Amino acid sequence: MNKLIYRIPLQIFNYAVFMALVWYLSIKPPYHQLDEDQAMITFTLGHVGKHVDECIKVSQEELLKLPPNMRKPMSCSRERSPITMEMRLDDHVLYSKVVQPHGLYKDQGIDVYESIKVPAGKHILNVWINDDVNVDGPMYKHTQPIELKPEQHMIIQFISDSSSFKIK
């Protein structure tokens, strides 16, 4: 009984310290993902580059020698081109990268999902990609004035089907 007299308050104190730690670290300190005047731009694409070597037209004679399920009019090497991409905001390079195709034979596509913090406000967005190693410079490009609100998340997506950029 004597021990209970001092143990109960001490136990309450210990539980309080423990739960204070649980509460504090469950929400604090707050994590600042962005400054108050910042927004986020995400550049994303899922795309397969052009064949590195030029495809060769297969003659009718050669086609007939092949089993029916393998008769393709064009013969292409497996290797795909790396994809070069660049995104600029007011002439400031935000993102610039050359991504190699996946796969042991580099015959797969690439996927990019890259988020970059930027200042909110009005900007000129300039984005381009090149998916053919045999061509120099931008192949698909897009320029657009944008206005970013603080905390806005703008997604710039390259649509392979239409070879165009979708900005949302």
Residues that bind another protein (CB under 8 A): 3, 7, 10-11, 13-16, 18-19, 21-23, 25-28, 30-36, 38-40, 44, 46, 102, 108, 111-113, 115, 150-155, 157, 168
Least distance from another protein to the Cβ atom of residue 20, Å: 9
Smallest distance from another protein to CB 122, Å: 18
Q: How far is the CB of 137 from another protein (least distance, A)?
A: 26
Q: Which two tokens stand for residue 103?
A: 């796969």
Q: Which residues contact 43 (CB under 8 A, 6 or more apart)?
A: 85, 87, 94, 95, 112, 113, 114, 116, 127, 156
Q: List the beta bridge partners of residue 45.
A: 112, 158
Q: What are phi and psi of 161, to 5 degrees?
A: -55, -40
What is the maximal distance between C-alpha atoms in the chain? 104
Under DSSP, is residue 96 helix (H, G, I), strand (E, B) or coil? Answer: strand
Six-digit token pair at 27? 């929400």
CB of 110 to another protein, least distance (A): 9
> Shortest Cβ distance from residue 14 to another protein (Å)?
5
Query: Which helix (H) or strand (E) segment is 74 a member of?
Result: strand 74-75
Q: How far apart are CA 41 and CA 156, in angstroms?
A: 7
How far, in Å, CA of 115 to CA of 30, rounded?
21
